Chains A and B, each alone.
Chain A
Amino acid sequence: MKNSQLYKGSLNTIVMKLLEENGRMYGYEITQKVKDITKGELKITEGALYPALHKMEAEGILEVEVENVDNRLRKYYKLTQKGTTETVNKLAELEEFIKNMQSIVQPKLDY
């Protein structure tokens, strides 16, 4: 992932936001979607994505569905009810973070 230290803490939030918008998605689709949205600026590595997905699944934030697609089984992830609530909180948290960072990086000067 580009500038991994800065993005790392937000991986879960990114995934949750995408699932909120798209309903259900599979691993590869998530990596591609992020690449598309950020025009290749942000690449989620496979080694980080799957552990994050599995952790959220164990925590009850995500649930899985399996379907047979193109000769193989495909595992879809989607938000649980708990996950949907959590997404709202996480997004609010992230927005707050961005706002704070902005005021540090570009402080408004009082004249």
Chain B
Amino acid sequence: MKLSTEQIEKLYQFTRQHYVEYYDLQTELVDHLANGIEEQWQEKPKLSFDEALQVEFKKFGVFGFMDVVEKRTAAMNKRYNKMILNHLKVYFRIPQIIGTIAAVGIVFYLLKMSLVSVFTMSILGLISIGFLFFSLFYLVRKRKKYEAKTGKKWMLKEIIFGHSTSLGLIQFPIQLFLQIDEPLVDIWLLIFSVFFVLIFICEYIIIFEIPSKAEDYLKQTYPEYEFSKI
């Protein structure tokens, strides 16, 4: 005996009740539970759906789906970090590396010329704050557009569009620099410039590059993404 569409829907509800928020993981668990229930029915055809479900759920242990959800989140974050790294690598290839080095040079030159003057820091600060506001606006708009499309929650999508918190990162090198009273030697200025440019590129990747390719990444990660739109 096979499960009906109604019973499958019940299984989806069951996973939601047990704190599995994301559709990708729900789908996999629903199929697993369904297989288990059907297997039980082969031996005991009179067993009710709910009883069979409880037996199957118990196999996941006392913490239920929690462990699976937790590990899945960790795996997805790892995947996301790898994405950032892959995008970052592009900036260190020819010809992009010329731009990267030039950017480091410009930051270095600005710092060197004015030796931590209020003026330089204001410019860097203004650029960062301007960037910050613009990015926030961009990300929120893009996110809204995506949410309107499907009602389902996808873990990777949340990760991609949920990184607005990392925006504050750009302020970090500036704050650090403001704390330093004495003029820095060249090598430290250079390290600071590299650090500043690196953070800037990372922010750009997190906010613009990856979200603009979100659809491709989601399709690549979730073959079921296309199914769910039907």
Binding site for B on A (CB under 8 A): 26-29, 32, 45-47, 50-51, 54-55, 57-59, 64-66, 68-75
Most-contacted residue by chain B among A32, A47, A51, A68 (CB, 10 A): A47
The answer to whether B28 touches A50, judged by C-beta atoms less than 8 angstroms apart, is yes
Minimum CB distance partner of B81 in chain A:
A58
In the bound assembly, the distance between CA atoms of A66 and B226 in angstroms comes to: 10
Whether A71 touches B2, Cβ cut-off 8 Å, given contacts A28-B32, A50-B28, A64-B223, is yes
Q: In the assembled complex, which residues on chain B have CB atoms less than 8 Å from the CB atom of A46?
A: 32, 59-60, 68
In the bound assembly, the distance between CA atoms of A97 and B4 in angstroms comes to: 47
Tell me, yes or no, whether B211 is within 8 Å of chain A by CB. Answer: no
The answer to whether A57 touches B75, judged by C-beta atoms less than 8 angstroms apart, is yes
In the bound assembly, the distance between CA atoms of A51 and B76 in angstroms comes to: 11
Whether A55 touches B31, Cβ cut-off 8 Å, given contacts A46-B60, A66-B223, A72-B8, is no
Tell me, yes or no, whether B105 is within 8 Å of chain A by CB. Answer: no
| 0/1 interface trace, chain B 30-58, chain A, CB 8 Å (1 if under) | 11101110010000000000000000000
In the bound assembly, the distance between CA atoms of A75 and B129 in angstroms comes to: 44
- How many chain B residues touch A (Cβ–Cβ < 8 Å)? 33
The answer to whether B223 touches A50, judged by C-beta atoms less than 8 angstroms apart, is no
Q: In the assembled complex, which residues on chain A have CB atoms less than 8 Å from the CB atom of B2?
A: 70-71
The answer to whether A71 touches B4, judged by C-beta atoms less than 8 angstroms apart, is yes
In the bound assembly, the distance between CA atoms of A51 and B66 in angstroms comes to: 11
Minimum CB distance partner of B38 in chain A:
A70
Q: In the assembled complex, which residues on chain B have CB atoms less than 8 Å from the CB atom of A68?
A: 227
The answer to whether A66 touches B227, judged by C-beta atoms less than 8 angstroms apart, is yes
A55's partner among B28, B61, B75, B224 (CB-CB below 8 A) is B75
The answer to whether A47 touches B63, judged by C-beta atoms less than 8 angstroms apart, is yes
Q: In the assembled complex, which residues on chain A have CB atoms less than 8 Å from the CB atom of B27?
A: 66, 72-73, 75
The answer to whether A71 touches B68, judged by C-beta atoms less than 8 angstroms apart, is no
Whether A71 touches B8, Cβ cut-off 8 Å, given contacts A47-B61, A55-B75, is yes
The answer to whether B32 touches A45, judged by C-beta atoms less than 8 angstroms apart, is no
Q: In the assembled complex, which residues on chain B have CB atoms less than 8 Å from the CB atom of A75?
A: 27-28, 31, 223-224
In the bound assembly, the distance between CA atoms of A70 and B37 in angstroms comes to: 13
